[in-house]
Amino acid sequence: MQIKQVSNHNINRWITEIHNDFKTAVSVDCVIFGYDENTLKVLVSACDMPPFEQKNSLLGDLVHPDETLEEAAFRVLESKTGFSDVFLEQVQVFGAIDRHPLGRVITIAYYALIKIDDAHLAHVVKDTKLQWMAVSELKSMAFDHYEIMHMCLRKMRRQIRVQPIGFNLLPEKFTLLQLQNLYEVVLGIPLDKRNFRRKLTHLGILTQLDEMESSVSHRPARLYSFDKDAYDEKIVHGFNFDL
């Protein structure tokens, strides 16, 4: 990179600091949430770095010099899940001085929401280090990753109430009960069936499909899909999603 010759001593200080003294390693860590078997899960990896060999860690990597932070996060996501088109949200930076045993590494936490499907599960199974773990069963992790996971969970819980992001965790076609269960599991509160259904169907952001559940041993439920166009349209007219 070319550096302009400038007279101000303040700028020379910056040049020195930027290029020598004050450089730090920067990583991204992804909290990848999935929803399966009525459970909120996180994709974790067996950690191979001392002293955390018995722990699980989040999926992350150092940010390369030629990529943005978001690109780094998407690179991690794609390499571990095979998906490139996922919902991704920056949460917070963690910069405690000794958070990494190999030296100072500040990390930018992202959370992602993905639809766990069979193709994806096969992809994960091939990588013996990877594992979907229920959020409720995760008690401790490598580094400060448990704290990071928890912060991401908090942010996701806050966001899911006011933005239609929950659909990223469900298949394209879902029943109203699946949607209600998702909210109950994520938020940890029971919801009234009739009120929930009225609220959601009256929001006008669901498309009622001409299709039913099949092969269930009870009355099959109608399938719905999220109508993103309708949502975007309503947003510009001052509509608020609020569950």
Chain contacts with a copy of itself (rule: CB under 8 A): 1, 3-4, 6, 8, 10-11, 14-15, 17-19, 21-26, 48-50, 62-70, 90, 92-93, 95-97, 100-106, 108
What are the DSSP calls for 85-152, one per residue? S-EEEEEEEE--TTSSTTS-EEEEEEEEEE---HHHHHHHHHSTTEEEEEGGG----STTHHHHHHHH
Q: Rule CB under 7 A: say whether 38 interacts with DNA.
A: no
From DNA, a copy of itself, none, interface partner of 216 (C-beta below 5 to 8 A by class): DNA
Query: Rounded distance, CA 46 to CA 62, Å?
Result: 18
> Which residue of 76, 77, 176, 205 would you call a contact of DNA, by CB under 7 A?
176
Q: Rule CB under 7 A: say whether 173 interacts with DNA.
A: no
Query: Rounded distance, CA 73 to CA 159, Å?
Result: 20
Residue 126: CB minimum distance to a copy of itself, A: 18
Residue with tokens 């400060």: 144
From a copy of itself, DNA, none, interface partner of 69 (C-beta below 5 to 8 A by class): a copy of itself
Q: Rule CB under 7 A: say whether 93 interacts with DNA.
A: no
Q: Rule CB under 7 A: say whether 242 interacts with DNA.
A: yes
Residue 234, CB-side half-sphere exposure with 13 Å CA sphere: 15
> Which residue of 5, 8, 128, 195 would you call a contact of DNA, by CB under 7 A?
195
Q: Which is nearer to DNA, 126 or 219 (CB)?
A: 219
Residue 166: CB minimum distance to a copy of itself, A: 19
Q: Which is nearer to DNA, 13 or 198 (CB)?
A: 198
**How many Å separate Cα 2 from the centre of its chain?**
38
Is the CB of residue 243 less than 8 Å from the CB of residue 161? yes
